[in-house]
Amino acid sequence: MVVPSPTSMIRTKKTKAVGIPTIDLSAERSLLSELVVKACEEYGFFKVVNHNVPKEVISRLDEEGIEFFSKNSSEKCQAGTSTPFGYGCKNIGPNGDKGELEYLLLHSNPVSISERSKTIAKDHPIKFSCIVNDYIKAVKELTCEILELAAEGLWVPDKSSLSKIIKDEHSDSLLRINHYPPVKKLGNENWDPSKLHNSNIINSNNTIGFGEHSDPQILTILRSNNVGGLQISTHHGLWIPVPPDPNEFYVMVGDALQVLTNGRFVSVRHRVLTNTTKPRMSMMYFAAPPLNWLISPLSKMVTIHSPSLYRPFTWAQYKQAAYALRLGDTRLDQFKVQ
């Protein structure tokens, strides 16, 4: 069942309760496919429990992440700059976006373990690479399971229509590990209103760790440590805080899935606020098509009454459009049928 978890229940100004759906993947399949579709339509976001990703696979990557970010900056920089893969600090993308974070960005299909090792660790790179690979393998299976449920719930005749895009050996999927060090509340001595203009400070307590955006890919599978900060925007523009849950995964609809479903699912805009005392660490698997994959609405999603909203484009073209714009820009408009 889609159960709004009590911790995630918040009340809007109109005192309407809003809850983030939680889907128990051990439930009966026909029910699950309906619930996945409903959650993707209503929020473009949901939590999954009983996901079958082994605990050790999660905890090992957690440990490696903690160890990596605790190194000094010159050691971390040895992982390569994040253009496109490796270590990045505060800079997001190529167009001047900034955030209060550091991160590792890794491709899910490196040519080889030794190729991956170059972008992560100098001391025990093979161990880190194997742990990353095990994590990617497990979350990729989870992604494919969710995409198959979505296809079933949408009554798409071939239930692998979506998952096969991710299973393709040339899939351009990524893994990102973000580390948000705590950011202290500004004391009065630092108070400089001119710095507030266009800055990342959104109220007296929190700083923007990662600014508002949607993910360009098909689906994002996210988990974090026990420190909150992630917020999602509802279709009505209300920001909902997402309670952290280190044992479970959150699923986000990305732009490419919005196109594949001809706008029936809408990608979720989200952002991360930093904590004033505790570091947040999160890891995201971004499930993407191969670069040359032609993205257009699944034929089942196009009818005389709902004609195609988007013209076909390759994943490479969409990535190029995303990297040419700022983080928070809407990129899908340029691919809409006029």
CB of 96 to ligand GA4, least distance (A): 9
Q: Is 89 in contact with 180 (CB distance < 8 Å)?
A: no
- 30 CB neighbour count, 10 Å cutoff: 10
Q: In which residue are the tokens 């605790």 written?
A: 70
CB of 106 to ligand GA4, least distance (A): 10
CB of 91 to ligand GA4, least distance (A): 9
> How far is Cα 242 from Cα 140, in angstroms, rounded to an integer?
23
Respond yes or no on whether the N-terminal peptide bond of residue 84 is cis (omega within 30° of 0): yes
Q: Looking at beta carbons only, is 215 or 245 nearer to ligand GA4?
A: 215
Q: Looking at beta carbons only, is 191 or 323 nearer to ligand GA4?
A: 323
Q: Is 280 a catalytic site residue?
A: yes
Token duo for residue 125: 């790179």
Q: Looking at beta carbons only, is 154 or 327 nearer to ligand GA4?
A: 327
Q: What is the four-CA torsion angle of 206, 211, 213, 219, rounded to 10 degrees?
A: -80
Q: Looking at beta carbons only, is 45 or 154 nearer to ligand GA4?
A: 45
Q: Looking at beta carbons only, is 159 or 280 nearer to ligand GA4?
A: 280
Q: Is 37 left (phi over 0), alpha (psi -120 to 50) or beta?
A: alpha
CB of 115 to ligand GA4, least distance (A): 19
> How far is Cα 337 from Cα 235, in angstroms, rounded to an integer?
22
CB of 140 to ligand GA4, least distance (A): 16
Residue nearest to ligand GA4 (CB): 93
Q: What is each CA distance from 79 to 9, 32, 89, 99, 133, in whole angstroms?
A: 40, 41, 12, 20, 17
Q: Looking at beta carbons only, is 32 or 286 nearer to ligand GA4?
A: 286
Q: Looking at beta carbons only, is 49 or 77 nearer to ligand GA4?
A: 77
Q: From the centroid of its chain, how far is CA 185?
A: 27
- Sign of the CA dihedral with 59 first, then 61, 66, and 70 last: positive
The beta strands (E) that lie in the chain are given as: 10-11, 17-18, 22-24, 45-49, 86-92, 97-107, 174-180, 208-213, 219-224, 230-233, 239-241, 249-253, 270-273, 280-287, 294-295, 313-314
User: Which one of 176, 271, 280, 331 is the catalytic residue?
Assistant: 280
CB of 325 to ligand GA4, least distance (A): 6
Q: Is 313 in contact with 295 (CB distance < 8 Å)?
A: yes
> How far is Cα 164 from Cα 330, in angstroms, rounded to an integer?
27
**Which letter does DSSP use for residue 171 in this model?**
B
CB of 286 to ligand GA4, least distance (A): 6
> How far is Cα 312 from Cα 294, in angstroms, rounded to an integer?
6
Which residues of this protein are in contact with ligand GA4, per CB under 6 A?
A: 92-93, 95, 97, 105, 174, 176, 213, 215-216, 286, 322-323, 327
Residues with active-site annotation: 280
